[in-house]
Amino acid sequence: MRLQDEVRSIVEREGVIARRDHPELAGAITSLKAAGHLTTVLPGVYAVPVLQDDFRTRVLAAAVWDPDVVLTGETAARLTFWRDLTSSTVACAVKWQRAQQRGYAFSRRAIPPELVVARGRLRITDPALTALDLCARRGGDGIDHALRARATTLDRLRWAFGLTPDRAGNRDRRWLLLDSRDEPWSAAERLCHRILRDARVVGWKSNWEVHLRGSTYFLDVAFPRLKIVLEIDGRLHEDDPDIFENDRWRQNALVLEGWTVLRFTWRMLEDHPDKVLAAVLEVLGAGPSAR
């Protein structure tokens, strides 16, 4: 019983236990598994049954199962800059071919050591590489989320791209990096930037930091010299009451400080880009030319 209590203590403290790390407890682990108190998460790695499918349990199991595993893709994003992702499958890069396991996606892949970040026992792709990895499934959303969270920079994204040449999909990643040159924080901002660039509108800055009435705000698209701002309302603005309310406080502060504010939704940008551009050009015409 003493050895079984020791196993329970390790599992409670660390979340999982690997038979390889505790050969002296192998018999106790076998007994607890036979009694249904432990279950296999990965070969030789065990957890309590109720947590077998828990995301964190799976992540920890991968790290103790193979210390060379690197967590990638949506798994890496969920652990770093995109915490509300719901994918429960743990994506791992491994050095050698591995049999697929339930709840895991293994890919044989060599990741440059410069692009691996250690967090305790976990090894995770650098946020720049993570964002680039997400391009295959999520387009520019991974880049937008990483930039908005300040998890990486455009320069670091380019650096990570340069360290991973000849990958399948790099043509699309290169285009998305170019499309990200004004550092959008959302798909709606990205579309707005494209509309402005295509029309050769200049003089604007994305996510421009201002300090107004004791608060700091980041303006989606600002023409600082003219005190004109374009506020882009994506889906979060409609679904999250806190974001909706904060936007109203921000707009009030801007107006009281003499800024002109135009607001556009994703649907307006996507379905009526000509009307969006016409409104922007009209407000710019009220001051010195910005074209």
So where are the chain's domains?
1-51, 66-181, 187-284
Residues of the chain with pLDDT > 70: what percent? 95
The answer on pLDDT for 214 being more than 90 is no
Can you list the positions of beta strands (E) in the chain?
Answer: 17-18, 39-42, 45-47, 70-71, 90-94, 104-108, 116-119, 122-125, 205-212, 215-223, 228-233, 260-265
User: Does domain 187-284 sit in CATH 3.30.450.190?
Assistant: no
Q: What pLDDT is attached to residue 240?
A: 55
pLDDT of residue 46: 96
202, with CB counted inside 10 A (0-12, 13-18, 19+), is exposed
Query: pTM of the predicted model, to two decimals?
Result: 0.85
Question: What share of the chain in percent tops pLDDT 90?
Answer: 86
